[in-house]
Structure 1
Amino acid sequence: MPRDDAALRSWIEEVAILFERDGLPRMAGRIFAWLLVCEPAEQSMEDLAAALQGSKASMSTMTRLLANAGLVERIRPPGARRDHFRIHAGQWERLWRARLEQLRTATTVMRRGLDLLARRPAAVRLRLEELHDQYAFFERELPDVLARWERERARRAPLPARLPRKRAAHPA
């Protein structure tokens, strides 16, 4: 990233702070943000370290964390000697579908807890019921939200058609 691109650096830091608020290291957020906007889209550990002014050790730890979370993909381009990282097209749908599965699992686990507390006073069950009901709600609603998104995406023009085109120079 050009060192003089202060606005882009500032935006990358905003994304990093969002990640940090979710309990992830700030450098993981920087890497993720950079992979959203970098060119080329696939970056080596060295590319990431240079762009983000971080150590290779930090890049290694954070890319492993991001890859394990399903946020970035580790690839080895043909002929390359080192791994590269990218945000894969279609990744977001897979991520949301995985979250739906997590909701299903969490709802089931909370239901088992409620079953264990069936004979306890309502006041004891209240916190767990609230959590169970919330998981169950999002488990029911998320499939509809994803279906609406798929319809929305189908109505949109493909991404390259939405990108602004360079205007041809007019003859003087």
Structure 2
Amino acid sequence: MPGGRLSQEDRRLIAAGLAGGLGYADIARQLHRPTSTVSREVTRNGGPGRYRADLAQAATAVRSRRRAPRPKRTENPCGADEHGRSEVLLAEFSSQFAALFAQTGMPKMASAVLARLYAADSGSLTAAELVAHLRVSPATVSAAVGHLEEQSLIRRDRDPGSRRDRYFIDESAWYRATLVSAQANERLAAKARDGADALGSATPAGLRLLGMSEYLERVGLDMVRSAERWRAQLAN
């Protein structure tokens, strides 16, 4: 209804209208919505040339979860947290999530720390809390968080009211990590170009290095553009 939230079907009709060359006013009339609703929806989700119904729906869901009020603290059975989840459940999920991170090439303990931070409602833990949860030494945690900080997947801040460090993960973590990865690709591409010049760009090795350089440059650009687009959508 006019003034209500757009549905997934509404977004499909908007995308179809844009693809068909319709203006905002024409699309709005089809949806029985104000023109401003359509223009605002398209602008915040990439503009007329980049609007996609599925991505717009996903971005809206993320924004809705981010704005959702924190549930009130309630009484729960012994051994469960305020949401009724047991420590066993959290540990099992964290272990499975960590295994998937490790399969991407991330070090095992860095994977365990990152998974545990994702499982924490606050998105943050102190080094002492990580030591207790993961049952490892402080030195092991220190090495793991050092790796994650290098990848920009977590950030460090001082725990309020104490001198302890607290480690945080937020919605921008994968945006920052994507930029770090793109920068690494750029350095590899530059070194591959240097290698082609040194070995001879017309030689088999030189041609191979030039192909590697071109691929990494283009993929890196695509990564940055995609990350910037998603960051803009989530910021709206």
- Report deviation, 1:151: 5.1
1:97 aligns with 2:209: no
The offset of 1:145, in angstroms, is 1.8
Contact 2:201 2:210 in 1 (8 A): no
Q: What is the SS of the residue equivalent to 1:74?
A: strand
Q: TM-score, structure 1 length as denominator?
A: 0.72
2:220 corresponds to: 139
2: CA distance, partners of 1:65 / 1:132: 26
Alpha-carbon RMSD across the aligned residues, in angstroms, is 2.8
Residue 192 of structure 2 is aligned to residue 110 of structure 1: yes
Mapped to 2, the partners of 1:69 and 1:141 lie a distance apart of 19
Pair 1:135–1:50, CA change in 2 (3 A):
same
Say if 2:178 and 2:224, in contact at 8 Å, map to a contact too: no
Q: 1:8 to 1:116 in 2, by over 3 A?
A: same
Residue 162 of structure 1 corresponds to none
User: What TM-score do the two structures reach when normalised by structure 2?
Assistant: 0.55
Equivalence for 1:64: 146
Tell me the CA shift for residue 153 of structure 1.
2.8
Does the C-alpha gap of structure 1 residues 96 and 47 become closer, same or farther in structure 2, counting only changes over 3 Å? Answer: same
- Report the Cα distance in structure 2 between the residues aligned to 1:144 and 1:69, rounded to whole angstroms: 19
Q: Which runs of 5+ in 1 are unaligned?
A: 156-172
User: What is the identity, as a one-letter code, of the residue corresponding to 1:47?
Assistant: E
One-letter amino acid of the structure 2 residue matched with residue 134 of structure 1 = Y
2:126–2:167 CA contact under 8 A, matched in 1:
yes
Distance 1:42 1:14 in 2: 19
Q: Note if 1:26 corresponds to 2:108.
A: yes
Whether 1:13 aligns to 2:78 is: no
Aligned length: 154
Moved more, 141-150 or 34-43: 141-150
Q: Could you say if the C-alpha distance between residues 147 and 75 of structure 1 is closer, same or farther in structure 2, counting changes exceeding 3 Å?
A: closer
Question: Structure 1 residues 26 and 133 mapped into 2: Cα distance closer, same or farther (>3 Å)?
Answer: same
1:72 shift after superposition: 1.6
Name the counterpart of 1:149.
230
1:77 aligns with one of 159, 177, 195 = 159
Segments of 5+ residues of structure 2 without an aligned counterpart are 1-78
Q: 1:126 to 1:21 in 2, by over 3 A?
A: farther
1:130 and 2:214 matched: no
Larger radius of gyration: 2
Deviation of the 1:31 alpha carbon: 0.8
Give the fraction of aligned pairs with identical amino acids, expressed as a percent. Answer: 25
- 8 Å Cα contact 2:154/2:169 also seen in 1: yes
Q: 1:80 and 1:154, CA in 2 relative to 1: closer, same or farther beyond 3 A?
A: closer
In structure 2, how many angstroms separate the alpha carbons of the residues matched to 1:154 and 1:67? Answer: 23
